[in-house]
Structure 1
Amino acid sequence: MGLLSQGSPLSWEETKRHADHVRRHGILQFLHIYHAVKDRHKDVLKWGDEVEYMLVSFDHEKKKAQLVLSGEELLETLQEKGERTNPNHPTLWRPEYGSYMIEGTPGQPYGGTMSEFNTVEDNMRKRRKEATSLLGENQALCTITSFPRLGCPGFTLPEFQPSPVEGGASKSLFFPDEAINKHPRFSTLTRNIRHRRGEKVVINVPIFKDKNTPVPFIETFPEDEEAAKASKPDHIYMDAMGFGMGNCCLQVTFQACSISEARYLYDQLATICPIVMALSAASPFYRGYVSDIDCRWGVISASVDDRTREERGLEPLKNSHYRISKSRYDSIDSYLSECGEKYNDIDLTKDKEIYEQLLQEGLDHLLAQHVAHLFIRDPLTLFEEKIHLDDANESDHFENIQSTNWQTMRFKPPPPNSDIGWRVEFRPMEVQLTDFENSAYVVFVVLLTRVILSYKLDFLIPLSKVDENMKVAQKRDAVLQELFYFRKDICKGVRAHVHRHHHQRQGREGVFPGLIPVLNSYLESMEVDVDTRCSILNYLRLIKKRASGELMTVAKWMREFIAKHPDYKQDSVITDQMNYSLLLKCDQIANGSCECPELLGPAFRKARHSGSKSDSST
């Protein structure tokens, strides 16, 4: 989760005093990197995935599933047995926001050959097996995007009470601070977002209106005036960073051959983000209720929204410098490539002094405004030991701002004095239940980058339409029920014809044929060994069937599971026992002890999955 400096964290007031210093030196650090590597060219497209996991405990007697707050201890053991013992270990492990979470990546990036696609699932299985082997009895490593009863009483093991009092990091009514990772970055982020904003974060998710859901659905919070004011009728109210950053996702980072190729990929993939998010939808439940959304994106966006009332346009500008239209976790605000410039139709708030400084240093207008836009934000965490740095050889101040602009795509300069190239990170995907599904989504996106670069495809549409697509993609069953703006003519240099359509519809001659046919056409033209081709085709088949509705998204499958549960009263409430049944089924599907053809198709080979310690005879 971005920069993880060690040291003594400063309070928000102390951090605020150093904000201009961080921005000033962050820009100098960026310029040192830019001038050193702007002309660097790499021969190979390297890439890697990141999978986030939750630790779940099953009480088979009480029929209860809880999140286990032992992520830090598990991480320490995994790192000790892995990378610290063997630098070439096939897996790497990193901390995540929740103390019930860990993140796993391949030990080394994947290379540019097609055969690499056939190793992704195997590495994901290694990760799952490696971490699972260290768990206690009746515990499982789950790849679920959102824990359905996150924030409900007793959702953690051990159980802790929330502390909505001054002194706590989040002051949440629902989410105890003990569920936050113990690394000082995470609690400091939580506290400083709240202090900068001037109040707790506000998350309101529309409730799913079932047959017996109260109309209107209203929760009362008489003991908390702030919550009573912030919560909305017919919405599920949440009040802490943990409700967003405590969810899991699936991300892919690509190293491009050059800065221009990275900028081109950044733009092209930005238009794909809403489509892939809808295809990977996996988070329909929040705080023990069935919601009317399928994706976590807006929840995370609100969970880290540190904008003041002035910045949100609720009060006249007095103490703040800018009106800022989005949370710092949102979709991108400008294209970076020359071909994208004419589609930049969103008003871009930027630091004018930084923008002029970057232009004087030789940056072009598009890259200068991108960086100047990121730097309208304040640093959210700062460590006492990291205030004064060597700008020529360190990049912590730049990364401080860069890594807390959590957007659909991230444009990543190389670290100073490294042989790493210019990279882009694809960030909107929801994590899936099985290694097979997660591999399918990763391979789909990586293959798409190869096709974009090989065929010089152009998916660009006005950026405001991409924003609209992002909103649509989060709706319930968006993959089948909603329409998306998309470009008809994808040959580079041809004028865009933007229209709205179901993205899986292939259409007539001259109309965009669909992503899967384009990928299949590319695959047919490549020299690929039989095993790799078979794996790729299986992955693309899953994606295609999810797009057509022949297979369910994880979100839809979860909804149907709860709807059919004998305890469900059609009132949008998810009880402990229902939560237990759902997560036990999710774990059984992931470890291959239970088939799920409506999610994975009949041909899914369950024998390829590793075991878990949570199987129950019940």
Structure 2
Amino acid sequence: MGLLSQGSPLNWEETKKYADHVRKHGIVQFLNIYNKVKERQKDVLLWGDEVEYMLIEMDEKNEKVRLVLNGGEVLETLQDKGEKTNPNHPTLWRPEYGSYMIEGTPGQPYGGTMSEFNTVEDNMGKRRREASSVLNKNETLATITSFPRLGCPGFTQPEYNPTPVEKGVSKSLFFPDEAINGHPRFSTLTRNIRHRRGEKVVINVPIFKDKCTPSPFVEKFPEDDGEAARAALPDHIYMDAMGFGMGNCCLQVTFQACSIEEARYLYDQLATFCPIVPLKSNKFRILKSRYDSIDSYLSSCGDKYNDIDLTIDEEINKQLLDAGIDKLLAQHIAHLFIRDPLSLFEEKIHLDDENESDHFENLQSTNWQTMRFKPPPPNSDIGWRVEFRPMEVQLTDFENSAYVVFIVLLTRVILSYKLDFLIPLSKVDENMKVAQERNAVQEGMFYFRKDIYKGCNPVLDSSSAAQNGLDSEGDNEYILMSIDTIINGKEGVFQGLIPILNCYLENMEVDVDTRCTILNYLKLIKRRASGELMTIAKWMREFVDKHTQYKQDSVITDKINYDLLRKCDSISKGEERCPELFGDPVNRGK
């Protein structure tokens, strides 16, 4: 989660008065950090994952599942038993947007040795057991991206009604304010975004058209004052609150690089993989908003591929250039700072810019893009970092570990072999659109670089790039590939990421146990990419479709939801096998 300041939150009108103040001092704070650590080298390669969990209640009597709004109490209990008692506790717990959510991370970052990969699943297991141990009877921990009945009547425990007309934070027709985390940051974000827009958030997701789905599908909103009717699109599910995006769960990985140059290189290279492991149902996406794919590459290798329009604050850009910041980093920061601060606390207006970075983080942490470039905090031993943000959370610790290890291994291979996966950013954006389509793993085609061993040529400018065919397909730098080809390879087209990772492993000294663990993780990725095993999304769709109560009308009833999440819970606890997701027990590994 982002910056969690304490104090007295300002409303939007008050915050708006200080927007220029925050931007001005945020840039000063960034420059102070940059000038202190720009030459910093040889930081250790550290990394860590973040898993977001939902707290749910399984009501066996009424066959209903509801989101439990006691995340604050659960979090406090976990912190009291953990980090507040023992600074070296193996897990850390943090709040998330929903009052039914918590976030767990390892207590200390993982290091650069291969043996660390053998501890990831164990630590995730500790987190799941630790959090589960403080839950009430009939409550459980769910690692699912989106709660199927989010926003439906009675989806919370305790049950609260939305307050679209009365004075409230979101004024949603569907999402009660009580489902928002009680920390003032979250309610202030929600309220101020609404006030800044002059209207509620508008999210329209195409409805799954089944045999008996009304056509056109048009929702009616009894308590609507007209705003929803104007905003809702036919054949779409309309949502009107941040909770429908930020109230979902994802899986993230943060890497500490050895230097700022390495961090920028990793930021760019990993950005091309974001559509390959997309957040299909996670943070809601409004075209090129705060919740989107990145808008510019940061390394010299990526400069020639920056082919999309980038809106920047020209004054801030000039200030950064005059201060000695290079063009690519300056425009990245100047682009982030076109936004307004969304949450400001009275006690945090006037700061010590030499030793604090709250104003910089105010804007940095409210740009929720697929990648995040993170300067070191002031006066800390933390280095330059990048955060990989687009992955959906999976049902089990095994799956989550597999996806995390896959991405971390990929960074090691990129750095070791100096690989180049860059393609024009416009093509990354096109890939992101394809990734949002249903069954994209089997049916989608993605632009991907053919020769990743050529390395970058920073001297090549954008004009000569165009002359060399960087904006076309065919025999040039990138072509359309399936996920199977990208992950597993296809003779004469692309060697595949899994074969590259296997080659890397063969050249590394890895103990037998760790090698076995890694190979089992890669086997899962390989078989899902090929279609041999289902993705979680496809498995859930098929479960609903085959349910005896499903009427081919696109409606997930309480009973269907209960049976689905009871099955998910049983699988996540290892009580039930699911060969469609994992294959044979032998192939699953541990």
Q: TM-score, normalised on structure 2?
A: 0.95
- Whether 2:524 is the aligned partner of 1:542: answer yes
**For residue 453 of structure 1, what is the aligned residue in structure 2?**
415
Which residue does the alignment assign to 1:343?
A: 305
Task: Say if 2:544 and 2:560, in contact at 8 Å, map to a contact too.
Answer: yes
What residue in structure 2 maps to residue 439 of structure 1?
401
Q: Which residue of 2 aligns with 1:116?
A: 116
Pick one of 469, 487, 491 that aligns with 2:431. 469
Contact 2:520 2:589 (8 Å CA) reproduced: no
Q: Which of 560, 564, 567 lines up with 2:546 in the alignment?
A: 564
1:583 matched to which residue of 2? 565
Cα distance in structure 2, aligned partners of 1:57 and 1:605: 32
2:488 is equivalent to residue 508 of structure 1:
no
Q: Which moved more, 1:490-499 or 1:397-406?
A: 490-499
Choose the corresponding residue for 1:497, options 472, 477, 481. 477
Report the equivalent of 2:27. 27
Cα distance between partner residues in 2 of 1:336 and 1:228: 42
What is the distance in 1 between the residues matched to 2:113 and 2:481? 34
* 3-state SS of 2:585 partner: coil
In 1, are the aligned partners of 2:312 and 2:335 still within 8 Å (CA)? Answer: yes
Amino acid at match of 2:284: I
> Is 1:296 the equivalent of 2:261?
no
- Structure 2: state its 5+ residue gaps: 458-467, 469-475
2:335 counterpart residue number: 373
**Larger RCO: 1 or 2 (CA < 8 Å, sep 6+):** 1
2-side partners of 1:512 and 1:254: how far apart?
27
Q: Which residue of 1 aligns with 2:238?
A: 237
Q: Is the 8 A contact 2:524 2:588 kept in 1?
A: no
Distance 1:296 1:256 in 2: 29
Q: Distance in 2 between matches of 1:206 and 1:229?
A: 16
SS across alignment from 1:201: coil
* In structure 2, distance between residues paired with 1:596 and 1:555: 14
Secondary structure of 1:301's counterpart equals: coil
Matches of 2:200 and 2:483, distance apart in 1: 38
Percent sequence identity over matched residues? 77
SS of residue matched to 2:272: helix
Q: Distance in 1 between matches of 2:352 and 2:382?
A: 20
Using the alignment, how far apart are the partners of 1:476 and 1:604 within structure 2? Answer: 30
Query: Which residue in the other structure is 1:145 paired with?
Result: 145
- Describe the SS at the equivalent of 1:504: helix
For residue 582 of structure 2, what is the aligned residue in structure 1?
Answer: 600
In 2, Cα distance between equivalents of 1:605 and 1:577: 33
The one-letter amino acid of 1:70's match is: N
| CA offsets 1:405-462 (integer angstroms, 9 cap, x no match) | 1110000000000010000000000000000000000000000000000000000000
Partner of 2:78 in structure 1?
Answer: 78
- What is the letter of the counterpart of residue 37 of structure 1? V
Partner of 1:317: none
In the alignment, structure 1 segments of 5+ residues that lack a partner are: 282-294, 303-324, 609-618
What is the CA distance between 1:516 and its match in structure 2? Answer: 0.8
Q: 1:493 Cα shift?
A: 3.5
Q: Which residue of 2 aligns with 1:553?
A: 535
Distance across 1 between alignment mates of 2:249 and 2:583: 24
CA contact (8 A) 2:374 2:386 kept: yes
How far does residue 607 in structure 1 lie from its aligned partner after superposition?
10
Shift of the 550–606 alpha-carbon distance from structure 1 to 2, 3 Å rule, reads closer
Paired residues for 1:28-427 under 5 Å? 28-224=28-224, 225-277=226-278, 295-297=280-282, 300-302=284-286, 326-427=288-389
Aligned positions, number: 568
Give 3-state SS (helix, strand or coil) of 2:356's partner: coil
Task: Find the aligned partners of 1:276 and 1:194 in 2 and give their Cα distance.
Answer: 30
Aligned AA (1:493):
C
Cα pair distance change 1:523/1:606, threshold 3 Å: closer
Whole-Å Cα distance in 1 between the matches of residues 435 and 395 of structure 2? Answer: 20
Structure 2 CA distance for partners of 1:549 and 1:607, relative to 1, 3 Å:
closer
1:262, 1:422 within 8 Å by CA — same for their partners in 2? yes
Task: Check 1:383–1:493 CA distance in 2 against 1; reply closer, same or farther (3 A cut).
Answer: closer
Using the alignment, how far apart are the partners of 1:601 and 1:590 within structure 2?
Answer: 15
**1:503 to partner: Cα distance:** 2.6
Whole-Å separation in 2 of the counterparts to 1:42 and 1:237: 49
Calculate the TM-score normalised by the size of structure 1.
0.91
- 3-state DSSP class of the match of 1:57? strand
**C-alpha contact (below 8 Å) 2:244/2:284 kept by paired residues:** yes
1:518 is the counterpart of 2:508: no
Q: 1:57 to 1:564 in 2, by over 3 A?
A: same
Letter in 2 for 1:244: G
**Does the Cα contact within 8 Å between 1:222 and 1:228 map onto a contact in 2?**
no
* Per-residue Cα deviation, 1:545-588 (whole angstroms, up to 9, x for no partner): 11000010000000000001110001110000100000000000
Report the Cα distance in structure 1 between the residues aligned to 2:588 and 2:276, rounded to whole angstroms: 28
Q: Which moved more, 1:37-46 or 1:438-447?
A: 37-46
Q: What CA deviation, in whole Å up to 9, does each residue of 1:77-96 have, x standing for no partner?
A: 00011000000000000000
Does the 8 A contact of 2:520 with 2:588 survive in 1?
Answer: no
Distance 2:349 2:50 in 1: 30
User: Per-residue deviation at 1:601?
Assistant: 1.5
